[in-house]
Each structure stands twice: as structure tokens, then as C-alpha cells.
Structure 1
Amino acid sequence: MPKLSNRLDWFSESVIRKMTRIANKYGSINLSQGFPDFDPPKAILEGLKEVANKGPHQYSVTWGAQNFREKLALKQEKFMGIHINPDENVLVTCGSTEAMMCAMMSVCNPGDKVIVFSPFYENYTADTILSGAEPIYVELKPPAFNFDKEELRSAFKQNPKALILCNPSNPTGKVFTKEELLYIGSLAKEYDTFVITDEVYEHIIFKPYKHTYLAALEGMFERTISCSSLSKTYSITGWRLGYIIASKEVIENCKKVHDFLTVGAASPLQEAAIKGLEFRDEYYEELNNTYEKKRKLFLDGLDEIGLKYYEPQGAYYVMVDISEFGYDDDYKFCEWLAQEIGVAAVPGSSFFRGNVSNYIRFHFAKKEETLKEALKRLEKLKEYR
């Protein structure tokens, strides 16, 4: 048998998705893979019912149905504060996962370098390698997970083709400040580098923090490729509706990758999701309030148990320090946690460059009763200190 591609040797299967299978195996509460256990908004579900009977059920335009792109452009134009042409600046993808891959393959040539902040969402290393590029890791330092300016400048001195920016960050929940983004932008201009943003948690920001769109900063639209999706905002992670917003030149190239990678996102789901894109400001305010309450409930519970964690500024994840339990293998700890305690988490080592094994990641995008039951089970950890 011929040898398989050696680029696959540099990363494993998704640890996050694997932890869901482990959760299912042991019947544990899944606080690993970040999807809700509650329904999407009723208006979107009603839209899905209408589409089931009326269609469309065939291909839409490859880069996204016209009406979907128009509604998406209007919605994002309002939040981002920049003009977005639905025909020139928008590409609809199969989730933000494909959006990131399209962006990477559109800007990177084999041998290029890409800056990745560590800890990082596990897809970024895989995306970089699959694009034929080489990752340069820059550490985000706890407890605030800030970067060192000189370390970042040193990375830029290696003339990278792009930097990947997850804001708010998965897994830490860090929200990058406007000052930090201006500094990143200044280096991107100085070294003629693209910035590929992953902003799927753009509407889940906890007070007093604020989300700033890098693309909206002066001189940054032409070199920023903004990737996001509807998954987290409307609790429809299984619909796989993502998008890229970028300059006309970038979008034209991303269209080519997208066309041959997936052809197009599901046309009936685009039609149904338009209902969400038409929501008023009140929806996004209530979304934030809902997650504020979930965060408080879960963090208060962790405090009661005595677990050490880093308070998230955005998104719906929390990094917990498990040093006190004496495990030098966080994966084994997570498997034990799922089997013996009945709660599934993600081993933190899957997010870090280097030998870091004292963190696990929980998510709190669950019903209140689910979170309470998870906390009740986690109380058993007191016995193992």
C-alpha cells in the first residue's frame, strides 16, 4: 500500500469531537464540545417548517443565496460599522470551519508561515498544515492571556503570510482590547500580512468587555478576512452556516476554493436562517443576558466546589486548573472525569503548543438544570483532593 500524506502526521483527530464520543460512551454530561442542549429561536424553527414544504431544496448560488447574502450583509454592516456589498464582500460557507480553511488556502502558498496564538482552537494548526504553511506560535500568558508585544513583533519579523485571531478566544474566553487589535493591525501593515479572524462568539461578550471588529479599524479591511457563522449566535451548530467577509479580491479567490471544496452551503437552511438575520437588537441583548446568567451560575458553582479557573470575558468556555489532582496526563483525567464523575471536559493540552497538561475546558452553553446537575456531580471532586 502506498504511504499516506505525511502532512497528516503533524496533527491528530479532533480531541473535542472525540470527547463527545467518550461522553456518549459513559452517559456523562457533555460540557466538552460546545453546542447547546436547548432549541434555536422559535422564529427560525418556524422558518424551517415553511422551507420543508416550500423549498428551496436544490443548489443555491455557489457562494450563497442572494437573499441570504443581502440579509447577512445588512446585519453585519450594522454591527461591524462598515459598508458590506453582498455581491462583492460576502461568501457563505459550510460553517466557520470551512470559512477558515477557504481563507487559509486562498492566501497561503506552500512554505509560508502563519502566526497562531497559543492556546488556540485546535483547527488552526490543522488548517495551517493542510494549507502547506508552517505555524509560528505566540504565547497568550495567563491569567489575562495577554501577548507580549516584543514576542509578537519577533514573530512578524519572520515575514508571515497571515495571523489567525480568535476573538473572543476559544478556549480562554479572552476578548482582545482595541489597543491590542490596533497593535496587531500596525504590525500587519508594517510586515504586509493578512489577519484571518474567527469571530463566531462576536455576540457573546460579558460586561464590561466590548467586541471590536479588526476589519473596522482604519486601513484594516483590505488585509482582514473575517470568518464567522450563525452556529453560536442562533444555537444552530448543526446547520453549518458560516461566512467570510472580506475585500472583493479576497472573496473572489475564496470563492474558487469554496466551489471545489464543498460547492455550497445547504440552500433550505439558508432560507430558514434568514429569520434570525432579521432579528432586532433586543435579541442580541437577551442572548448576552442569557449567557451572563449561565456563566454566573456555573462559575459560582465552581467557586463552591473550590476549583480554580480563569474567568472568561466572552464566548461560553472556562479553563479550569486541575494541578491539585496530581495528574500529569490531562487526557486520562478527562476520561476518568467522564467515567467516574459523569461530566465530560476537553483536555487543555489540545489547545496549547508545548507540554501543558494542567488545564481542562468546560463549556456552559446548557440549560440551567443541566449545569446544576453537572455541578452536583463535580462536587464529588472534593473527595479526591
Structure 2
Amino acid sequence: MFESKLPNLGTSIFSQMTALANQHQAINLSQGFPEFDAPELLKKQLNHYVLEGFNQYAPSSGIVRLQQQIAALIARKYHNNINYEQQVTVTSGATEALFVAIQTLVKEGDEVVVFDPAYDSYQPAIELAGGRSVHVALQAPDYCIDWQVVANAISEKTRAIIINTPHNPSSKTLKAEDVSALKDLVKKHDLYVISDEVYEHIIFDKEAHLSVLTDAELFARSFVISSFGKTFHSTGWKMGYCVAPSELMKEFRKIHQYVTFSSFTPAQHALADMLELKPEHVEQLNEFYQQKRDLLIEALKESRFTILPSEGTYFLLLDYSDVSDLDDVEFCHWLVEQAGVAAIPLSVFYSTQSHDKVIRLCFAKNDDTLKRAAEILCQL
């Protein structure tokens, strides 16, 4: 009998809810992808490079122009002058970068601290490396990290801590005191950090994104993961990158070359052009998504939902305690089947049972879609 390496995994909640949304012709605010298209320049340049014959393997670490543009972006935003040749690797999406970073660090018996609610790729990648996830649960409504609880969770087997800021699904961001506490634990216990920063350019209310890249001491022991899909509304391209110190990146690339070897060549050229010719797209992303967040919040003001703060990402959390007594999974099924709006239950992001009555909505949608969804939700 075949023995599964991941026996507890099935179809993801994202696939389930999208299938239900399609089945019931519901408004899909569940899966986190934009309803609108990628920028015209990006599509035009992709087509240009395909037609010009840029269709063979790129260098495994990425084309030089794109590595240079990534380094230039990091210098502008985080005042960190990295070595693009030695410290930047282009990947087939952020999930590949996360997987490779975890495989690079984690050995048989190692432990990795993960904050719940957590992106669902972390734990399987840790288990496939022979490690064990140690989950620290964050609770509604503030989802703040108690660093003493984290300290208590660290053992002699702990190898790394995975952070995610802005955080999916809670939409919270790490603050200066969080970075300071993380750095203290890393130094004290000789740990590494995997920093999932795929929503780094979507942060609200004029707050700064506190990237690991802004702290030289912390970056020296970190892998930083980013996503072009989130930044350029092109999640289907599966393009991302990892930035790390040269010694760590050398080991990262050993594994990356046997996972995808290299990533989609025409897209790399198009992304390099986009970063060089339209830097304002990245600079305006905060404002673009804040308008959508604020529109949805305003449209939901007369509803019976309690709206939780969204500090970043393109997600908004709603507490439905005044709407239903169902648990969050049952409520999301009812919501899509009976009301015609698809959302994601937050409990699926926890390793242990969560009784919070909280759902996640994606507002990376056209304004009319958000208004129609809010109108339905206000009638509940």
C-alpha cells in the first residue's frame, strides 16, 4: 500500500471555495487574486520578448537586468545596497522561494517556529525537509505576537522562525518592537529567519514596511521572499524572488537549480522593463489598494459584521458573531450557497482548533464587485 508523505493534506480551502463560488455563481472574495489585469506595459513587453525569440532557459539565478532592477528597488526602498549577482535569485513564484529556503535550512529533526494563522505552504515544506513546525497561535481581534510565548516555544532543536509581514490572513504588520524582539531571539538562540514579504508594497495609512532588509544584523541570518504576482497583478505568471546573504544564497541556489532550474524567460525581461520604466507602479500600490480597502469598509458600515483593522495586504477580516452561530467553515459554506458571496474561514490557517468567528475577504477586485458583495452582506 502506498504511503503518503503528507497524509493529512487534501484539497486546499482556496480551491474548495472557488469551486463553490463557480458552482453557485457567487461573488468570489475568497481566493487572493486580482480581478483586474496586469499593467498594459508589462503585457506588451511580455509579448514583445516572446515574439523576439527570448524563449529559452534564463540563467538559473535570473537574468542580470532583472537582478539589477530588484537590487535597485531594494536600495530605493530599504537603503540596502545588496550584491545583485550573489544575493538575488529569481524564482517561479514566492511559494517556490519559500520551499527552497526551507529545504536549505531545515534538516531531519529540526524545529521551525510558525505563527498561526499561517500560509498553508509552510508546514508541508518543513515536513518534507524532515522538520517539525512549532505553532504559535495569534488570536483575534489584534493578532499581536506575544514574544514571551515565542521564547518559551524555542528549544535546542529550533532552527528558524518564519515571519510574514504584512501578514496573510490577519492583515497585520510587524512593528519596531516586534523586529527588536525577533532579533534578540535570533541572536540568543543562533536562529535563522525566513521572512515572507510578498505584500511588502501593500501597506496602509502611510506606515512604513519594516522589511528584514532594513536591519543589517537581522538580514545576515535571513531569507527574504517577494512576489511579482502580488505587485503587478499577475499571480498566474508565478514569478517571485529571494534575497539573502551571499553564503546563504549559495546554498539556496544549489536546491533551486533542481526544483525549477530557472523561471519564465520572457516574463523576466518584461518585469525588468516594468521596474525600470514604470517605478511609479510600485510607489502607488499602497494608495491603489487603500482606496479599495476603504471603499469596502465604508460599504460594510451598516452591516452586522465587526470589521477588524487591515494594516496591509489586500484582505479584510470580518467578525460575524452577530450574524450567525455557525462555525467559520460552516458559515462560509452557507454564505456562498445561500447569500452568493465566497469568503475564507480563518480557522483553516491554524494547526489547532480556533473558535474565532472570523472570515477573510479579498478586496483585490473591481469597485463594482466590492459594492455588490457589500450590499449582499449588509442584508444579512
TM-score category, normalised to shorter length: over 0.9
Q: Does 1:309 align with 2:307?
A: yes
Q: Does 1:27 align with 2:25?
A: yes
- Deviation at 1:144? 2.2
Corresponding residue to 1:352 among 350, 353, 356 = 350
State TM-score, norm by structure 1. 0.94
Q: Distance in 1 between matches of 2:283 and 2:64?
A: 28
Q: Which residue does 2:211 correspond to in 1?
A: 213
Matched-pair contact (CA < 8 Å) for 1:182–1:217 = no
- Deviation at 1:311? 1.2
**Other structure's SS at 2:190 match:** coil
Identity %: 34
Letter in 2 for 1:64: G
**Other structure's SS at 2:233 match:** coil
Q: Does 1:69 align with 2:67?
A: yes
Matched-pair contact (CA < 8 Å) for 1:175–1:210 = no
Q: Distance in 2 between matches of 1:353 and 1:368?
A: 34
Q: Which residue does 1:156 correspond to in 2?
A: 154
- Deviation at 1:168? 0.3
Higher mean C-alpha displacement, 180-189 vs 328-337: 328-337
Q: Does 1:368 align with 2:363?
A: no
Letter in 2 for 1:355: Q
Distance 1:232 1:350, change over 3 A: same
Listed one character per residue, the Cα deviations across residues 122-177 of structure 1 (whole Å, up to 9, x for unaligned) are 22222222222111111223322111121111122454111110000000111101
Q: Which residue does 1:114 correspond to in 2?
A: 112
- Deviation at 1:23? 1.4
**Other structure's SS at 1:69 match:** helix
State TM-score, norm by structure 2. 0.95
Matched-pair contact (CA < 8 Å) for 1:231–1:240 = yes
Q: Distance in 1 between matches of 2:266 and 2:280?
A: 26
Listed as ranges, the matches of 1:34-183 within 5 Å are 34-183=32-181
Listed as ranges, the matches of 1:328-347 within 5 Å are 328-347=326-345
Corresponding residue to 2:234 among 236, 239, 243 = 236
Q: Does 1:223 align with 2:221?
A: yes
- Deviation at 1:273? 1.4
Matched-pair contact (CA < 8 Å) for 2:304–2:320 = no
Higher mean C-alpha displacement, 326-335 vs 233-242: 326-335
**Other structure's SS at 1:319 match:** strand
Higher mean C-alpha displacement, 124-133 vs 104-113: 124-133
Q: Which residue does 1:187 correspond to in 2?
A: 185
Listed one character per residue, the Cα deviations across residues 4-27 of structure 1 (whole Å, up to 9, x for unaligned) are 22x412433321232222212221
Q: Distance in 1 between matches of 2:124 and 2:207?
A: 30
- Deviation at 1:280? 5.3
Q: Which residue does 1:299 correspond to in 2?
A: 297
Matched-pair contact (CA < 8 Å) for 1:347–1:359 = yes
Q: Distance in 2 between matches of 1:97 and 1:125?
A: 12
Q: Which residue does 2:2 correspond to in 1?
A: 3
Letter in 2 for 1:373: R
Q: Distance in 1 between matches of 2:253 and 2:19?
A: 34
Q: How many residues align?
A: 379
- Deviation at 1:209? 2.5
Listed one character per residue, the Cα deviations across residues 246-284 of structure 1 (whole Å, up to 9, x for unaligned) are 011211111121111122211111111112222555333
Q: Distance in 2 between matches of 1:295 and 1:302?
A: 11
Q: Distance in 2 between matches of 1:251 and 1:55?
A: 30
- Deviation at 1:327? 4.1
**Other structure's SS at 2:322 match:** helix
Letter in 2 for 1:215: L
Provide the alpha-carbon RMSD of the alignment. 1.6
Matched-pair contact (CA < 8 Å) for 2:36–2:366 = yes
Letter in 2 for 1:173: S
Q: Distance in 2 between matches of 1:193 and 1:279?
A: 39
Listed one character per residue, the Cα deviations across residues 263-322 of structure 1 (whole Å, up to 9, x for unaligned) are 221111111111222255533342211111100111112222121121110111112122
- Deviation at 1:218? 3.7
Q: Distance in 1 between matches of 2:82 and 2:121?
A: 27
Letter in 1 for 2:378: E
**Other structure's SS at 1:244 match:** strand
**Other structure's SS at 1:334 match:** helix
Higher mean C-alpha displacement, 353-362 vs 307-316: 353-362
- Deviation at 1:95? 0.3
Letter in 1 for 2:75: E
- Deviation at 1:77? 2.5
Letter in 2 for 1:313: E
Matched-pair contact (CA < 8 Å) for 1:175–1:209 = no
Matched-pair contact (CA < 8 Å) for 1:115–1:138 = yes
